[in-house]
Structure 1
Amino acid sequence: MSGGDSGSQKTAISTDLAPAAVGPYSQAIRVGDLLFVSGQLPLDPAAPGDPAPDSFGRQTEMALSNLRAVVEASGLGVDDIARTTIYVTDLSRFDEVNQAYASFFSGVVPPARCTVEVAALPKNVGVEIDAIAYAAAVGVG
């Protein structure tokens, strides 16, 4: 639907606790009960010019930490994440990614997930993770 009244307002979410967007997009958009979090890179928000670590496991931890910061800036939590997409530049390193991912989501029902190997990612990183969270799961609205 374009234009008109869709019944839901689109709200941008941002936080200084995650790296700023590296292009013309929002860190996240809230539409009704859904939160769409843009791909988070393994960059330190306090030093975004620093290179990402070599370890895909450590890159995954950093990307997930940034994802958590954006989700929490919306008033939601990790347990509200319903789906993630992981982009990796080397699928042979997936075990490192999977271990860090499993640790991050321990104690909550892990979200549905898709993993895709890509030729390259911004800032020469090896991992990027985006998410969709559901606000109504905790009665936020």
Structure 2
Amino acid sequence: MSSTSPKRRHFNTPSTQALYDNYHFPQATRVGDMIWVSGQVGLDASLRPGKGVEEQSHLAFQSLQRALDAAGASLADVVELMSFHTNLHGDMQTFSKVKDQYFRSQYPSWTAIGILELAMPELHIEIRAVAVAGCGQLETAKPMRD
């Protein structure tokens, strides 16, 4: 490994440092311009789950914004989004509406997965993301050719 190899850096916001200390994972990991954001859930500042899918979705996207900011990026730099839903079909319309408030035009690739449960029984959704710092300028999408 050369001395110019990118280094791995971990990022935690002050409100999530306890998660790192107790469960041993950072909110974001950055290597070069690539940033991987751990799953963000709908907890408020007191670590209480939001009421319903809409509030939890807003809280999760706000946590995602804070993790990206700590790592030197923004939502515009997100290239991949994964969402996990305990009621995929029932929650999709509400979740999509909230998602579109945070990603207004530069839509990342997105995978939505239905699951049985999350870390707390009151949680409905979790999101994780991959970002490339500084790539937030989107080129016009071109149709794919067969």
**Coarse TM-score class (shorter-chain normalised):** 0.7 to 0.9
* CA deviation after TM superposition for structure 1 residue 32, in Å: 1.0
1:114 to 105, 111, 117: 111
SS of residue paired to 2:14: coil
TM-score for the superposition, normalised by structure 1:
0.84
Write the mapping of 1:83-102 to structure 2, written as runs, cut at 5 A.
Answer: 83-91=80-88, 92-102=90-100
> In the alignment, what sits opposite 2:144?
none
Distance 1:9 1:43 in 2: 31
Distance 1:60 1:87 in 2: 11
> In the alignment, what sits opposite 1:80?
77
Identity of aligned residues (%): 24
Q: Any gaps of 5 or more consecutive residues in structure 2?
A: 137-146
Q: Which runs of 4+ in 1 moved over 3 A?
A: 17-20
| Rg larger in structure | 2
Distance 2:112 2:41 in 1: 15
TM-score for the superposition, normalised by structure 2:
0.82
Distance 1:19 1:114 in 2: 28
Number of residue pairs matched by the alignment: 132
- Decide whether the 8 Å contact of 1:18 with 1:69 is kept in 2: no
> In the alignment, what sits opposite 1:47?
46
Q: CA RMSD in A?
A: 2.1
Q: Any gaps of 5 or more consecutive residues in structure 1?
A: none
Distance 2:17 2:101 in 1: 22
- Decide whether the 8 Å contact of 1:12 with 1:27 is kept in 2: yes
